[in-house]
Amino acid sequence: MTKALQFLQSDDAQDLFHKALGGAVLLQKKSQSKLRSMRVAGAADLLRKASQKLQRPELSALSIKVRIAGFAKAKAQVQTLIDTLKKQTADEVQKKDTCTAELNSNAASTEATTRDRDEAEEKMATLQATVEKLAKEIAELKTQASDSQTALKRASEDREIENKDFQLTIADQRATQKVLTAALNVLGGFYNKAALIAQKAKVAQPAGPPPPAAFKSYENQGSGGVTGAIEQVIADAKAVEAEAIQAESDAQQEYENLVKDTNDSVDEMLRSVNTKDGFKAECETDLVETTQSKDTVVATLEDLSNENAAIHADCDYVLKNFDLRQSARSQEVEALKSALVFLGGGSFKALLQGDDVTPEMQMSDEVHNHYEDYRKRLLDALP
């Protein structure tokens, strides 16, 4: 065996190899046409089987074209389909990225717009409640102001009646005083004249015994009776007049205080009404603007929903079947590359490594195969 190896490595063996291999190359050139036919048939058969496996009628149609087309044209058609599939793969990747970006953007916009809608609805509810509360408070203030003014009007009417009663009382008391004073003056003159006559009669009569104790002088009796009673009535009338004047003064002061307090209260309520009216108007304006803004947001949400539906209609098939389609297309490209290797007579080793196959590679593989075959036959023949 050692001698055999030494022989194989010798210059003579190498010359023998080159001669043998040169013959193999010549043999290859003579059978090139036959090899091409075999390659075309092999490529067509591979495409047919790939069509059945991948459920791709296009590959079956291409297998027929490869059989009937020229050798160079068949290779060009296979390469064109490979290029097309690669472009479709790249386009689909870009489509997936675009769809994902559009869906993410739509989702973010929808979330933000939904938040704007919810905030607008919350603000609308707050403004509506505020407007209703202000309207109720304004109505209550107006009612209170009206009631206060009505009460003040009734107080004015009562005051007018009280004043009329006062005027009548004063007139009555003063008239009583006037009449009784005049009567008292008349009685005073009468009593003074009677007393003077009695005094004169007393001087002219002789002295005699004193009158009986049961009898009193007419002057003393009159002065202590009728005139005293009249004077008491006059004094009572003056007291009533004074009380009426004081009561009238107190009532008038109380009325004036009531008028002032009522007017101040009504003024304060009306100022509050004006303030609340202004704030209510601002809230109503804000409510209208917020409602319009919410309507715009709702319309935007509807547009986003339509956009989302359109994106899904355009992208769902790609997104849901992306991995499957990419894998199937990759298998299809590999099948086409295998067919192209057959058509190009390429190296099987190069095919496994994914390299582009050239005629030089094919020749190198065939020469190497002849070399290995011849080397094996030599080794087997040597003792």
Q: pLDDT tens for residues 201-242? A: 555 455 545 554 443 444 444 445 788 888 898 899 899 999
300 contact partners, CB below 8 Å, separation of at least 6? 113
Pick the closest to residue 74 from 342, 334, 329 (CA basis): 342
Which pLDDT score is estimated for 41? 61
Host domain of residue 70: 31-206+216-318
**Residue 136 domain flag:** yes
Tokens 């009796």 -> residue:
221
Q: How many domains does the chain have?
A: 1
Determine, yes or no, domain membership for 18: no
- What is the pTM for the complete model shown? 0.54
More confident site: 377 or 226: 226
Q: Which residue did the predictor score with more confidence, 336 or 312?
A: 312
> Which pLDDT band, with edges at 50, 70 and 90, does 142 fall under?
very high
Q: Whole-angstrom Cα distance, residue 305 to residue 113?
A: 11
**Would you say residue 364 lies in a domain?**
no
Does 184 fall in a domain? Answer: yes
* Residue 37 in this model has a pLDDT that exceeds 60: no
Q: Is the pLDDT of residue 189 over 90?
A: no
Flag whether 45 is in a domain: yes
Contact 59, 51 (CB under 8 A): yes
Q: Would 128 be classed as within a structural domain?
A: yes
Minimal CA–CA distance to 21: which of 383, 381, 368, 382? 368
Residue 230 maps to a domain: yes
Cα separation, 133 vs 280, in Å, equals: 9
Cβ(358)–Cβ(346) below 8 Å = yes
Domain for residue 1, yes or no? no
Tokens of 62: 């291409």
